[in-house]
Amino acid sequence: MSEETTTVVADTDPIAAGPAVEVLDTMMRIHELRIDRPNIVAYLGKIAPEKQEIALVDEVGVTEMIARRERFRH
């Protein structure tokens, strides 16, 4: 049996709360990320929780490489 989890985020003033994305010297930190794409959520939901972050980063990297290759072909 799977358990569904719902997270509720309070509305806060983005300026007062700080930036949603920080770009640092060697990394980028995303404080709040919402993905409204059921196929992506379903894919990541099948991955162990401790591996979901790296799976998302890998997918973004692969998708970007594919898009760059397509742009160079045309």
Q: What is the mean pLDDT of the chain?
A: 79
Coil, helix or strand for 25?
coil
Q: One-letter amino acid identity for 22? A: E
pLDDT at 33 > cutoff 90: no
Give per-residue pLDDT as tens, 52-62: 989 988 888 88
Nearest of 44, 42, 45 to residue 56 by alpha carbon? 44
Specify the pTM: 0.54
